[in-house]
Chain A
């Protein structure tokens, strides 16, 4: 009993003590509170401090341009580093670390680049051609395990490097790689076959330069901490509190520093969109992404900023394992029976656009135009009566009286589940067909798709580069991502010809013809081109929300 009392007294004392400490702490609060973030918002408008605060939804996993695949990392890489070219507000490559556009040989295989004399790393060292050579070789090196190495492998001998097994083989393949520094400021790249969009591609972070001395010194931690990243871009990464805040400050050693207005950018990691909106409302953020329900509150307001993306959503059919889906008329019927305009208006309501083909609007056609405009509407329009007729014809061809029960896989997110509901309701209403919804976790959907273990799957694909090829080469027979086993020899021929065609307009025509075939076959059924919704304070100008790769581009942004 004695001990009990002793313990209870001790606990009571501890409690009182902790309360006292708690009180003392909260009393201290005002004086110890950092003023940094409030300063920015409270500053008088006349001062116009060139500082911006952004809500950012994800922590960049690693900021190593060879290894990363995440938009979050690409966004920051684009801020503190850059490539030979940088994508401007129109989505076009403009000379960045390269002085001008490349000299391209007549066969479209050899590119020569001159690097700017005043291109510097943020520590003042000059950017050299060797930094690009090192970067490309490192990305291709199989020991780096770069997931985007396939893009760099278009350089002559690139694939051989990725497939090399031993260190000697790797070294030999790297030495034979078609990239060399003619001198410190001149770079030459030879391609395996013509890549019409190669200049454009060089603005993508995977092609950014890397400093061998820096990468070697940082070792395994390269790209993982604030002092383990370096760049030659408009900003310097000055702070990285994991899970919390990333901070960029202007890079005075940047070749185009005179045109960079922002002096500081703070990106706070805010995953919850309601919190994001609350922070925006209290001026703790100048830019935030919002969801569909929040968008309705801001419709028509000036701070509403849509971000159209080079991302499409589509239904993919397993044409081999499910005989019914091997029938063109049945696929056409399923595609025609969905009213896409009603879908984007009611289910998404975020500015996404009903698809009119496979390739999203805004994608370059490789010949100076917009692919979607050049190709026109290749996807058959919603037509319930025709859909019903095609279904009947298709069933007759197969000797069936009705469609078998098929499962439609999708992610188990709210949007995906609502999408499933809508699509299935459309089929029921317009075709009298009951399909089965099968929402599963994202990882499972990917696994089932890669094993071709599905009937129909609702999927999304985002561009790796701004060219229709990123959407179209997936569907060639036996292609790595042709999980629906779609096959059409005519289509394959057109894609293959576009892969080697040097003449831009001929290439563009081949791609348009290929899309027409794919849409007529309904090898896949596109649904919409995704748009995301952002809110931006009106005094922020020049901010670009790129259609792919990065979340935002800050170089030309300023505060009015």
Chain B
């Protein structure tokens, strides 16, 4: 098992290194220079001096080595847009909002999505099923950049129930979380429904029923617990998707998260920020996959008995 974990860890590191290297190559191919707002009016001499300060006058291979060396030492460099701030500080500052929004959205998505899926399966081909699936289809069809402004306008402005935007306390979290969770609700509902229907047709469910167990007991103890396994598989990646996919929702509701930095850093060629954020998000995804692998290694020994596993 230790070998299995070590091997997975090594794969994770290699993946991260590849991503960092690709990011470096891609961002060096971005047109323009990274001197930000007002760059067009910077006199040539000042421009050269600034590029020198950031080491951008050096050969590409030297820039790459410095870049990798800094990453190894946990230094993602200073942002070009916010020269007095390190990228790591900006991540520390902005990520908690994205994470909070993402976590609440995923909790809503899991609760509502699974409930809808369960109802749909139990009421298969009946009104409950159609209603739940109608909601699921809506969820898939309405992207957050449509739902967000609708919620902000109707709930925030027209009905005045919740704040239309900003991020200043618990009630400010509700609308952006709902907007963010809608698509995930749909995915989870459909997956849970399929999985439940599959389990409901298994022999052991029929056996349980024939043993005289109550419906509640069959559903909760046998069906849901088994049907939820395939859902767990995708919760990891979905979680990462949700916390990294908050950009549009953050923008719509003025949430001070990390998403806006991603876009603005690309527009302004903020090299350090682009690479820092890519590496950070990749690291989260890789970590989640790593943990999923380990958990699966525990759950199903055949997985770790793959190549070289014992």
Residues of A within 8 A of B (CB): 3-5, 7-9, 11-12, 15, 18-19, 21-22, 25-26, 28-30, 32-34, 36-37, 59, 61-62, 64, 67, 69-70, 142, 145-147, 149-150, 162-163, 220-224, 241-245, 268-272, 274-275, 278-279, 281-282, 284, 440-444, 446-447, 449-450, 464, 480-481
Contact = CB atoms under 8 A, between A and B. Distances in A.
Most buried by A among B33, B108, B171, B261: B171
9 contacts: A147-B41, A242-B256, A271-B254, A282-B163, A441-B31, A442-B267, A443-B33, A443-B39, A481-B40
Interface string B252-283: 11101100110000011100000000000000
Contacts of A18: 107, 110
A231 to B, nearest CB: 17
Interface in B81-133: 81-85, 90, 93-94, 97, 104, 107-108, 110-111, 114
A241 B31 contact: no
Given A224-B84, A241-B256, A278-B152, A12 B224 contact: yes
Nearest to A2: B299
Nearest to A445: B32
B229 A67 contact: no
B169 interface: yes
Q: Please classify the interface of chain A as helix (H, G, I), strand (E, B), loop, or mixed, using the class held by over half of its residues.
A: helix
Contacts of A145: 46, 49-50, 53
B31 to A, nearest CB: 4
A59 to B, nearest CB: 8
B41 A61 contact: no
B43 A480 contact: yes
A70 B42 CA distance: 13
Contacts of A67: 83
A279 B166 CA distance: 9
Contact of A282 (B31, B36, B164): B164
A54 to B, nearest CB: 12
Contacts of B50: 145, 147
Nearest to A30: B171
A385 B194 CA distance: 70
Nearest to B31: A444
Contacts of A268: 166, 254
A438 to B, nearest CB: 13
A223 B152 CA distance: 34
A177 B153 CA distance: 58
A282 B160 contact: yes
Given A26-B174, A272-B252, A446-B33, 15 more contacts: A4-B300, A8-B226, A11-B232, A18-B107, A30-B171, A32-B170, A69-B36, A242-B90, A243-B93, A268-B254, A272-B165, A275-B254, A282-B156, A284-B166, A442-B32
A550 to B, nearest CB: 15
B264 to A, nearest CB: 9
Contacts of B38: 69-70, 147
A3 B301 CA distance: 10
Contact of B152 (A12, A25, A274): A274
Contacts of A275: 149, 152, 164-165, 251-254
Contact of B111 (A15, A149, A223, A480): A15
Contacts of A449: 40
A352 to B, nearest CB: 20
B31 A149 contact: no
Contact of A15 (B110, B160, B229, B299): B110
Contacts of A32: 169-170
Given A224-B82, A278-B156, A443-B32, A244 B167 contact: yes
Contacts of B234: none
A15 B110 CA distance: 8
B25 interface: no
Contacts of A269: 254, 256
A376 to B, nearest CB: 28
A270 B254 CA distance: 5
A480 B44 contact: yes
Contacts of B169: 29, 32-34
A111 B299 CA distance: 81
Nearest to B263: A271
A59 B114 CA distance: 40
Nearest to B112: A19
A224 B45 CA distance: 25
